[in-house]
Amino acid sequence: MGAAEKLHVDDATLSREAQAIITGNDRGGYTVPTAGLYPYQWNWDSAIVAMGFAAFDLDRAWAEIETLVAHQWPDGMIPHIVFHKEAPTYFPGPNVWDTGRPVPTSGHSQPPVAAFCAEELLARDNGALGQARAARVFDALMRWHRWWHDYRDPGALGIVAITHPWESGRDNSPDWDEALKAVDGSNVAPYERRDLKHVDAKMRPTKEEYDRYIALVEFGRSLGWNARDIGQRNPFFVADPGTTFILLAADRALLRMAKFLNKIDDVPVIEEWIARAETGVNRLWDASQETFAALDLRTSKHGGGVSNAAMLCFFAGVGSNDQRAAMIGHFRRIRAKTGFGVASHDPDQPNFDSIRYWRGPVWAFMNMMIGRGLNEQGYEAEGHQVWEDTRALLSGYGFAEYFDCNDGSPAGGGAFSWTAATWLQYAA
Closest CA to 138 of 51, 257, 29, 268: 257
Contact partners, residue 119, CB within 8 Å, separation at least 6: 253, 254, 256, 257
For the bound state, the minimum distance from the C-beta of residue 65 to ligand 9WN, rounded and expressed in Å, comes to: 16
- Specify whether the CB–CB gap between 296 and 303 falls below 8 A: yes
Amino acid type, 32: V
Interface characters, 173-212, with ligand 9WN (x: CB under 6 A): ----------------------x-----------------
For 299-329, letters b (16+ CB in 10 Å) and e give eeebbbbbbbbbbbbbbbebbeeebbebbbe
For the bound state, the minimum distance from the C-beta of residue 166 to ligand 9WN, rounded and expressed in Å, comes to: 4
Helices 417-427 and 43-53, axial angle in degrees (round to 10):
40
- Specify whether the CB–CB gap between 425 and 17 falls below 8 A: no
The question of whether 5 is a catalytic residue gets the answer: no
The question of whether 322 is a catalytic residue gets the answer: no
Chain-centroid distance, C-alpha 382:
21
Find the binding residues for ligand 9WN in span 47-66 (CB under 6 A). none
Q: Which of 26, 119, 171, 353 is catalytic?
A: 171
Chain-centroid distance, C-alpha 366:
8
Q: Report the residue number, 177 or 290, with the smaller CB distance to ligand 9WN.
A: 177
Q: Report the residue number, 175 or 195, with the smaller CB distance to ligand 9WN.
A: 195
Q: Which of 240, 266, 401, 404 is catalytic?
A: 401
Among 18, 19, 30, 38, binds ligand 9WN (CB under 6 A): 38
Q: Is 169 among the residues that bind ligand 9WN (CB under 6 A)?
A: yes
Q: Report the residue number, 196 or 223, with the smaller CB distance to ligand 9WN.
A: 196
Among 83, 144, 148, 166, binds ligand 9WN (CB under 6 A): 166
Backbone angles phi, psi at 31, to 5 degrees: -120, 135
Q: Is 402 among the residues that bind ligand 9WN (CB under 6 A)?
A: no
- According to DSSP, residue 8 is labeled -
Q: Is 273 among the residues that bind ligand 9WN (CB under 6 A)?
A: no
Among 30, 42, 379, 399, binds ligand 9WN (CB under 6 A): 42
Residues with catalytic function: 171, 401
